[in-house]
């Protein structure tokens, strides 16, 4: 069994949608605890302490199982045998596929940033400027690790909220999309440069 086969898409969805709380809870809580630790301690300290706790747990369990086997005179073998035999090597084909996808997205991002910074479409560049301006306030309110914590909490909460209230959320999103499309069309109609850019594309 390969490590990549353990991380299938359906299993990831079952985690974030809390199909099995016994699996989702420990993963969500464990990662959240690590992220909160990183907020107050250095990365090296957190990695060292987490590794020490994990090593202490495995050593204690190994000694415990050895004592039990000696008392009961059983030959169960190494308690972590199944995990030691699990293939954790990265498949070259999978790595190449992931790399190709990453490079494709990176190239698309570079092209889009060039288009925005060199003002190919004035309206899109203005919207990008507004987004960057909002990010300056976001950066003033939160640091990087806080945003990661919020993103992790959102990953395990928003999909479930959306699944539970899908009809109402979709209706509200349609209203927001129509309003944004209406505002964008009005702005483009009022800005001659934006109209020229569209005519060139056609």
Q: What is the pLDDT of residues 80-92, one digit of tens each?
A: 888 888 888 888 8
Portion of the chain with pLDDT greater than 70, in percent: 90
Q: Which of 199, 134, 155, 201 has the alpha carbon at shortest distance from 32?
A: 155
- Whether 139 shows a pLDDT value over 70: the answer reads yes
At residue 118, does pLDDT exceed 50?
yes
The whole-number average pLDDT for the span 75-102 is 85
> What per-residue confidence (pLDDT) applies to 80?
86
Looking at the predicted structure, is the pLDDT value of residue 70 above 60? yes
Q: Is the dihedral of CA 44, 45, 47, 48 positive or negative?
A: positive
Q: Does 39 score more than 90 pLDDT?
A: no
pLDDT of residue 129 exceeding 70: yes
Single out the residue of 61, 11, 176 nearest to residue 184, CA to CA: 176
Q: Which helix (H) or strand (E) holds 187?
A: helix 166-190
The pLDDT of residue 2 is: 44
Report the helix count and the strand count for the chain, using DSSP H and E: 11, 0
Cβ(85)–Cβ(91) below 8 Å: no
**Count of beta carbons in the 10 Å neighbourhood of residue 127:** 15
Contacts with 98 (C-beta within 8 Å, 6 or more apart), sequence order: none
pLDDT at 196: 47
With cut-offs at 50, 70 and 90, classify the pLDDT of residue 111: very high
pTM of the model: 0.61
pLDDT bucket at 115, cuts 50 / 70 / 90: very high
What CA–CA distance (Å, rounded) separates 134 from 127? Answer: 11
């Amino acid at each position: 069994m390969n490590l990549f086969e353990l991380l299938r898409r359906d299993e990831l969805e079952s985690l974030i949608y809390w199909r099995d709380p016994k699996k989702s809870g420990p993963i969500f809580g464990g990662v959240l605890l690590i992220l909160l630790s990183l907020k107050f301690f250095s990365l090296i300290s957190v990695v060292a302490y987490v590794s020490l706790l994990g090593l202490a747990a495995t050593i204690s369990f190994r000694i415990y199982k050895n004592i039990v086997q000696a008392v009961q005179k059983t030959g169960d073998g190494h308690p972590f045998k199944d995990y030691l035999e699990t293939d954790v090597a990265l498949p070259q084909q999978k790595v190449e596929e992931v790399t190709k996808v990453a490079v494709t997205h990176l190239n698309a991002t570079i092209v889009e940033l060039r288009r925005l910074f060199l003002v190919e479409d004035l309206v899109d560049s203005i919207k990008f400027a507004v987004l960057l301006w909002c990010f300056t306030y976001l950066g003033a309110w939160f640091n990087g690790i806080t945003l990661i914590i919020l993103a992790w909490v959102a990953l395990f909460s928003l999909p479930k909220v959306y699944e539970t209230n899908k009809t109402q959320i979709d209706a509200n999103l349609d209203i927001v999309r129509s309003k944004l499309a209406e505002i964008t069309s009005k702005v483009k109609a009022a800005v001659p440069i934006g109209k020229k850019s569209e005519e060139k594309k056609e």
